[in-house]
Amino acid sequence: MTTPLLAVENVGRRFGGFVALEGVTAAFEPNRVTAIIGPNGAGKSTFFNVLSGVMPPSTGSIRFKGRDITGTPQHRFAHLGIARSYQITNIFPELSVHENVRVAAQALRTRYDIWCNRAAMTELDDKADAALAAVGLAGRRDATAKFLAHGQQRALEIAVALVADPELLLLDEPTAGMGPEETKDMVGLLERLAKDRTILLVEHKMKMILGLSDRILVLHHGRLIADGSPQHIQTDPEVRRVYLGQNDGYA
């Protein structure tokens, strides 16, 4: 097998006396889609926050492309090649759709230049337009982001993450709050992205995960209780007990 793109070792995170995450060890190979599931409060979001640098782990280490990145400040992650979306839509509401993506593209080129004319950096426009086309938002290019429909805002957030051409894409519930139609569009988008990207996603909608992911990790009370193919996870008695059993609606 190829060397892992991302490897977490014995990662844990506590908040005061509360252990949100404990002893998680896993390695992720390139060009795979891995889903992270678990009941509410299982530590999925904490795990994601640790992986995207929002907070350092209390214990353990994270290696990206063989390099130890534990404790790296969050704003460096985009430069390393790790981009994320948030569970609650996180865009620049008053900027246009195009500006949202363009400013994300600009981060990798220049951050403190107070002198040049940014309109002259046309390659950023092309990059932004390509990312918008990839998520199907080219037609809303000049709309103000806050006026987009919910599903379009989610797609925009993925374009914002995508424009940096990240090697690892972390998606926190990309279909949260979406209706069936919007979910279908998003699944189509994720399937297209999955062809040549490494994606980790947190999701609640079981049907969608089973079709989309190569591998599923199950968290419960901050611990990794199962790790395997969708078929394996579906038949795992422990997983059925803590997760699938109590959520018949999702399964």
Partner 1 sequence: MTASTSSLPAAARAPRSPWRARLTAWRVPLSILALCLLPWLLPSQALAVNVLIYGLLAVGYNLLFGYTGLLSFGHAAFFGAGAYVTGIAIGQFGLPWFAAMLLGVAFGGALAFLVGLLSIRTRGIYFSMVTLALSQLVYYTALQASSWTGGENGLRGFTVSTINVFGWAIDILDPVKKYYVLMVFAAAALWFVSRVLNSPFGAVIEAVRENETRARACGYDVERTKLLSFTLSGVIGALAGTLFALHLAIVPLDILSIHTSGMVVMMTLLGGAGSFFGPFVGALAFLLMEDVVSLWTSHWQIVVGTVFILFVLFLPKGIWGTALAALAGRGGR
Closest approach of partner 1 to the CB of residue 193, in Å? 15
Among 3, 10, 110, 247, binds partner 1 (CB under 8 A): 110
What would the x/- binding string for partner 1 be over residues 178 to 207, using CB under 8 A? ------------------------------
Q: Of 18-26, 117-125, 176-184, 240-248, which part binds partner 1 (CB under 8 A)?
A: 117-125
Among 13, 84, 215, 220, binds partner 1 (CB under 8 A): 84
The answer to the question of residue 112 lying near partner 1 (CB under 8 A) is: yes
- State which residue, 18 or 115, has the beta carbon closest to partner 1: 115
Residue count at the site for partner 1 (CB under 8 A)? 55
Contacts 24+ apart (CB under 8 A), 191-197: 192/134, 193/134, 193/158, 193/162, 193/169, 194/33, 196/31, 197/31, 197/166, 197/167, 197/169
DSSP class per residue in 154-218: HHHHHHHHHTT--SEEEEE-TTTT--HHHHHHHHHHHHHHHTT-EEEEE-S-HHHHHHH-SEEEE
Among 16, 111, 195, 249, binds partner 1 (CB under 8 A): 111
Q: Of 2-10, 22-30, 138-146, 204-212, which part binds partner 1 (CB under 8 A)?
A: 138-146
The answer to the question of residue 143 lying near partner 1 (CB under 8 A) is: yes
Which structure tokens are listed for 171?
């998606």
Determine how β-strand 59-64 pairs with β-strand 168-172: unpaired
Q: Please state, in angstroms and rounded to a whole number, the distance separating the CA atoms of residues 42 and 52.
A: 18
The answer to the question of residue 164 lying near partner 1 (CB under 8 A) is: yes
Q: Please state, in angstroms and rounded to a whole number, the distance separating the CA atoms of residues 72 and 55.
A: 9
Which structure tokens are listed for 98?
């195009």
Helix axis angle, 122-134 relative to 150-162, nearest 10°? 130
What would the x/- binding string for partner 1 be over residues 6 to 45, using CB under 8 A? ----------------------------------------
Q: Please state, in angstroms and rounded to a whole number, the distance separating the CA atoms of residues 216 and 202.
A: 10
Q: Please state, in angstroms and rounded to a whole number, the distance separating the CA atoms of residues 180 and 245.
A: 23
Q: Of 1-9, 10-18, 95-103, 217-225, which part binds partner 1 (CB under 8 A)?
A: 95-103
Residues that bind partner 1 (CB under 8 A): 52, 73-79, 83-84, 86, 90-96, 98-99, 102-104, 106-119, 121-122, 125-126, 129-130, 133, 136, 138-139, 141-144, 147, 160-161, 164
